[in-house]
Structure 1
Amino acid sequence: MPLVYIIIVNYNGYKDTIDCVNSLRKIKYDNYKIVIIDNDSTNDSVKKLKFYLEDCTILSMKSNLGFAGGNNFGINYALKNNAEFVLLLNNDTIVKDDFLNNMILTFIKETNAGIVGCKIMYHKEKNRIWYGGGKIDWFKFIGIHFGMKEFDNGQCDFEKEIDFMTGCCMLIKKDVFKKVGMLPEEYFMYFEDLDFCVRVKDFGYKILYNPKSVIYHKVGLSSGGEESQFSVEWGTRNRIVFMNKYKKKVKNCRFISSQIFFYITRILKCIKYICNGKIYLAKAILKGIEDSK
């Protein structure tokens, strides 16, 4: 069995991180190590993690490096310590005991795979899909989750090549980092996984989805919800950054149409938020646009 380093980034979420690690302790895969990157938590996360997770490597950052920065620190540590594969895993997830075995099997079957992903279900509703594979919508410049919010009736139970794997859980071959580089840190949080997957495919690797590998996601807990002020602001900012970075993926006229669509829909969202008394979300959109410049 190849050595897998599992990288988990923690920020003030030691309870979720402990739950995640406890589920990892039950997996059938034998050759793995867990590295927890604490992104300068403001609570007593480090103290709690060191007490409850003595078998894990816990690395404390002096500042919050964001999702990409925190993971990159862990990836570098893993590569220096002979990792053959690196698994990026959100701390607010619970894994099934065979999830890692199934992902490794995909790599064994497909030698040109660079990233392998899994099926992700909602933690609170374990029969409802959060991610069943994904594609990039090059008009909206966003990642689309197949089957999202649908009840699981087997519609996402087919192995296939995909455009992107969410950073919630991606198993990455070590050679990818040597050729492609690390996660892009200009995003801080959101869209860095999408950007990384674009680059991985541009280098000729395949990104594959294995539905037999299943985890459960406490969606949105780390950022305050799927439509929190944080997620709206950073989602807005980073979508603009992503659009501008990869505008050459589409024709000029199509990119102009994408920009018009984006800003019109942001205006409509602002109006909707204001009408619903959520002025703070309208301000978050405006701040996201301003910060993208």
Structure 2
Amino acid sequence: MDISIVIVNYNVKHFLEQCLHSVEKALQNVQGEVFVVDNNSVDGSAQLINEKFPNVAFIQNTDNVGFSRANNQAIQQATGKYVLLLNPDTVVEEDTFEKVLSFMEAHPEAGGLGVKMIDGKGVFLPESKRGLPTPWVAFYKMFGLSKLFPKSRKFGKYHLSYLDKNEVHEIDVLAGAFMLLRKSALDKVGLLDETFFMYGEDIDLSYRIQQGGFKNYYYPETTIIHYKGESTKKGSLNYVKVFYNAMVIFARKHFPGSKAGVFALFIHLAIYFRAILSATKRILHKVYIPLLDAVFVFAGFWLITPFWEQFRFHQPDYYPPEFMQFVVPVYCLFFLFGILFSGGYKKPLSIYKIGRGILWGLISLLLAYSLVDEKYRFSRALILLGTAWSGIILVAYRLLGHWLRFSDFRLNDQRTRKIAIVGHSKEARRVQQILEETRIRSQMAGFIALDNSDKGQNYMGELSQLEEIIRINRIDEIVFCAENISSAEIIKAMLDLSRLNIDYKIAPPESASIIGSNSIHTAGDLYVVNMNAISKSANRRKKRLFDLLSAVLILVLSPVLLWFTAKKAKFIKNIFRVISGQRTWIGYISGFESENKLPAIKKGILHPADRFPELQLDKEKSARLNRLYAKDYNLLSDIELLLKAWKHLDR
């Protein structure tokens, strides 16, 4: 056996599928075995492996045992002369394995090898080659000196940025995303250290390989795509803590006492520094726009109230001081929560959602106004004037921020993306259908043939003319059909056109997903036929707000509605269950939620079948109604159903 490929998966099913397709192609001329170790994923990864990749040796853990231990589970069963640790969010070229094995055979001193990696836009990933993170190297990296002076041999040691990325080099540290290891070297230096749960194990093993008398190489004669960021969210505070603590473990394990102490001090300073910066930035980023909204809304009432007092009552200071001190801030909260539940604070910003949120805030405020004691009812007219002011000023300053190109005020302009598909006619049309079913805003520019003999209807040209096609037709996104075009050709095209501001995606064969990544800093984008519309955060907010407002309204009307209900106590109990969040007004038909593995929602008082009282339900019809409700969720449908079946709210 030439090579044993080990892939550790955790909730990245669609990326794993694409990775395994590329691995299968790359093993055509190489004797190899593939292990997938799943760390208790809940996204259907196990079903994918069992159905589509039966030849893969599948190890299914019942817990997330971490990266190191999961890899070791497979390495202990591996029979190959070489072991490749490969991330699930990667794509390899068809001749990648042949090339790297040939290099290792020609260099018996090599214990490990890494390759050139690019992100989903064809941009080189600097972690393809790294130096040993000694205390000073880590210091230069953590405090930004390596970024300021990338060509310096002193400051650029972390990513060895002074070395040519297109030449073979001896390096210190291999990237865990693609880590080819000589099995005899592993037998000598040992497996991955399971003290490292997720980060740092690649640095530790690379260092031990060198300590064992072997060399590590960076080999750029083959390139892989690494959708950086899929398995972890690298901007999170938890990532900062886990990653830097892994560096502390490494220092204490390999550096002398005083050196390890200095390193640990740097690391802990970096953790606290980054933690404070990250926490402060996150808090400010989340609250400063709502705070601005509150200031503008409050300022509106502060300006309008004296004019209204003079106009309506011919008396300044007609309202008591408590009105501005306490009542107006409460008004502000109604508008802020209305915008929040409308999705108005979600990026990119939407003027429609802002307006809708203000309207929801007004409705909620007027409803609350009618319920409070009369001494707190100051003026409906002031509420309406304040609402008008809020609608104008909140929209106006967002438009100004968008015009000034402030990133946090970027509006969702709903621009339609022009997409071209590269592939043979049959597969290209299958991919086009997937794009249509995902309901993304896109315009199909046409198809791109692989060669002159492949042209058909709506074909704009050949793959060799790709750059010209993109420029002339102003293409925003290219989708490659992996069934028709090799990974090597895809990667070459991405490298050649990396200077263009184009997004690239790959459609694996016989898959309902289309995968890509927009930048080194973002997780990969995924187009997949949406069966879980109700699971979207915006829809969950709408559903909860609808439940809350309608429950309060029903409670107000309950003295009348109780005359039409048979189980009066159950009716009142259900209202308070919905208000408290224990129940929702409309849920799935009970007993059939698992038929389609639907997203979880709260148990409902009513269900989709209540719209069709004459329908005789069976298992198939119930499952279908549940599926349609989850897939095509619409707030108007909930409203219609509640109005139609309100007499059954005493269930």
Q: Cα distance 1:258–1:94, how it changes in 2: closer, same or farther (>3 A)?
A: same
Report Cα offsets for 1:183-207 as digits up to 9, x if no partner.
0000110001101111111110111
How is 1:49-88 mapped onto 2 (pairs within 5 angstroms)? Answer: 49-78=49-78, 82-88=79-85
Instruction: Quote the Cα distance in structure 2 between the aligned partners of 1:161 and 1:93.
Output: 23
Do the aligned partners of 1:129 and 1:147 also contact (CA within 8 Å) in 2?
no
Report Cα offsets for 1:68-111 as digits up to 9, x if no partner.
11100110111xxx311111100010111222122112212211
Instruction: Quote the Cα distance in structure 1 between the aligned partners of 2:267 and 2:35.
Output: 38
User: 1:168 is matched with which residue?
Assistant: 177
Unaligned runs of 5+ in 1: 149-153, 280-293
Are positions 1:128 and 2:141 aligned together?
no
Are positions 1:238 and 2:246 aligned together?
yes
Q: Cα distance 1:270–1:59, how it changes in 2: closer, same or farther (>3 A)?
A: closer
Displacement after TM superposition at 1:230 (Å): 3.8
Unaligned runs of 5+ in 2: 139-156, 285-651
User: 2:133 is matched with which residue?
Assistant: 137
Q: How many residues align?
A: 265
User: 1:195 is matched with which residue?
Assistant: 204
Instruction: Quote the Cα distance in structure 2 between the aligned partners of 1:273 and 1:141.
Output: 23
Displacement after TM superposition at 1:140 (Å): 4.9
Q: Cα distance 1:132–1:167, how it changes in 2: closer, same or farther (>3 A)?
A: closer
Are positions 1:19 and 2:48 aligned together?
no
Do the aligned partners of 1:106 and 1:116 also contact (CA within 8 Å) in 2?
no
User: 1:119 is matched with which residue?
Assistant: 116
User: 1:47 is matched with which residue?
Assistant: 47
Q: Identify the structure with the greater strand proportion.
A: 1
Bigger shift: residues 53-62 or 193-202:
53-62
Do the aligned partners of 1:141 and 1:239 also contact (CA within 8 Å) in 2?
no
Do the aligned partners of 2:237 and 2:278 also contact (CA within 8 Å) in 1?
no
Do the aligned partners of 2:237 and 2:275 also contact (CA within 8 Å) in 1?
no
How is 1:103-114 mapped onto 2 (pairs within 5 angstroms)? Answer: 103-114=100-111
Do the aligned partners of 1:140 and 1:262 also contact (CA within 8 Å) in 2?
no
User: 1:31 is matched with which residue?
Assistant: 31
Q: Cα distance 1:97–1:147, how it changes in 2: closer, same or farther (>3 A)?
A: farther
Instruction: Quote the Cα distance in structure 1 between the aligned partners of 2:137 and 2:250.
Output: 7
Counterpart residue identity of residue 4, structure 2: Y
SS of residue matched to 1:137: coil
Q: Cα distance 1:53–1:243, how it changes in 2: closer, same or farther (>3 A)?
A: same
Displacement after TM superposition at 1:261 (Å): 3.0
Larger Rg: 2
* Identity of matched residues, %: 25
Counterpart residue identity of residue 47, structure 2: K
Do the aligned partners of 2:170 and 2:216 also contact (CA within 8 Å) in 1?
yes
Q: Cα distance 1:240–1:95, how it changes in 2: closer, same or farther (>3 A)?
A: same
Length-normalised TM-score, structure 1:
0.83
Instruction: Quote the Cα distance in structure 2 between the aligned partners of 1:75 and 1:205.
Output: 19
Q: Cα distance 1:272–1:182, how it changes in 2: closer, same or farther (>3 A)?
A: same
Q: Identify the structure with the greater helix proportion.
A: 2
Instruction: Quote the Cα distance in structure 1 between the aligned partners of 2:266 and 2:81.
Output: 43
Displacement after TM superposition at 1:29 (Å): 3.7
User: 2:282 is matched with which residue?
Assistant: 277
Do the aligned partners of 1:10 and 1:39 also contact (CA within 8 Å) in 2?
yes
Instruction: Quote the Cα distance in structure 2 between the aligned partners of 1:59 and 1:90.
Output: 16
SS of residue matched to 2:25: coil
Length-normalised TM-score, structure 2:
0.39
User: 2:432 is matched with which residue?
Assistant: none
Do the aligned partners of 1:94 and 1:217 also contact (CA within 8 Å) in 2?
yes
Counterpart residue identity of residue 15, structure 1: H
Displacement after TM superposition at 1:62 (Å): 2.7
Report Cα offsets for 1:132-177 as digits up to 9, x if no partner.
42111311575933459xxxxx930111111010111111111112
Instruction: Quote the Cα distance in structure 1 between the aligned partners of 2:222 and 2:61.
Output: 31
SS of residue matched to 2:208: helix
Instruction: Quote the Cα distance in structure 2 between the aligned partners of 1:96 and 1:90.
Output: 14
One of 266, 272, 292 as aligned partner of 2:271: 266
Instruction: Quote the Cα distance in structure 1 between the aligned partners of 2:18 and 2:126.
Output: 19
Counterpart residue identity of residue 91, structure 1: P
Q: Cα distance 1:244–1:101, how it changes in 2: closer, same or farther (>3 A)?
A: same
Displacement after TM superposition at 1:48 (Å): 1.8
